[in-house]
Amino acid sequence: MWLYVACLIGLYYLFRWYRERQVASNLRDKYVFITGCDSGFGNLLAKQLDLQGLRGLAACLREKGAEQLRRETSDRVETVILDVTKTESITAAAQWVKERVGNKGLWGLINNAGAIFPDVCTELMTKVNLMKTMNTNLFGVIEVTMSMLQMVKQARGRIVNVSSFMGRLAFFSVAYCCSKYGVEAFSDCLRTDMQPFGVKVCVVEPGGFKTNLTNVQKLQECLENSWNKGPVEVKESYGQEFFEKFLIINKNSLQKCSTNLHLVTDCMEHALTSRYPRYRYSAGWDAQFFFIPLSYLPTVLSDYVWSANCLKPAHAV
């Protein structure tokens, strides 16, 4: 019996491997719009797609990032300044894209821009940090998508939303997790709505990678600011020792982040170029073999595993 099961599993993965190797046609004529190209995943993906011959429309937050990207790519890559938290900037970028793609439509939309403003714990979360995170990571994704959707439908193209393993398993930053859970929900709803129009919607869920988002100094400063401005009674319940150990653990975890950004951009490229892309991509060993599997466990078990490795507040019962 187990032999038959093993054979069926083997045949399934063989079939999936063969199916996913099939490449979409006429890729050199297709346009792809990518947000967050100043650095990190977006910057690397723009260069990667340039080498594949696709026409990249790269959105950067600052002119410095756009200028550097133009120097490092061919004339197939064009850049535009975009702040995904501002409606007028999104509207202008959408018009800019429309002028370039014309009747061909937009083959790929990569919602990659992201931000994180962590708090030490849920009790210390502020509305300011929550809204800054949501405006970039969720509301920005939704508004950019809605502004480009008709062009993607025209091309029967692809929408790739960058979520996170923290959109499947919530910890560390409440605001960030809320935004990424929202991206997962938006992507699921959009995928089912777009299927009748031939548009495919994919989600990439990276693990821990060294980008500007995981800059140790910036995150440590953000956590210190969260603690220093927090209510006295909350800080007393957790204790100064808790906070100091939390900073050490956080720093050690960030320093272990992977430097191989290709693990993520290869998933994005596959979602754009394969005839049969996956609905979800888990990128990184930590996401694939720990965090995502942990998210499938019953809540009581995942909570037990997580709490066993968490710091205890000073006045924990």
Q: Is 176 a catalytic residue?
A: yes
Choosing from 4, 12, 176, 181, the catalytic residue is 176
- Residue 124, token pair as written in the block: 């210390």
Rounded to an integer, what distance in angstroms lies between the CA atom of residue 141 and that of residue 134?
10
Do 163 and 187 contact (CB within 8 A), yes or no?
A: yes
Do 113 and 36 contact (CB within 8 A), yes or no?
A: yes
**Closest residue by Cα to residue 23 from 224, 248, 272, 283:** 272
Do 209 and 253 contact (CB within 8 A), yes or no?
A: no
Angle at 149 between CA 144 and CA 150, to 5 degrees: 135
Amino acid identity of residue 35, one-letter, is: T
Q: Which stretches of 156-290 are DSSP H helices? A: 174-194, 216-228, 232-238, 240-255, 262-273, 285-286
Do 85 and 136 contact (CB within 8 A), yes or no?
A: yes
Q: Report the SS3 class of residue 18.
A: helix
Rounded to a whole number of angstroms, the CA Rg of the chain reads 21
Looking at the annotation, which residues are catalytic?
A: 176
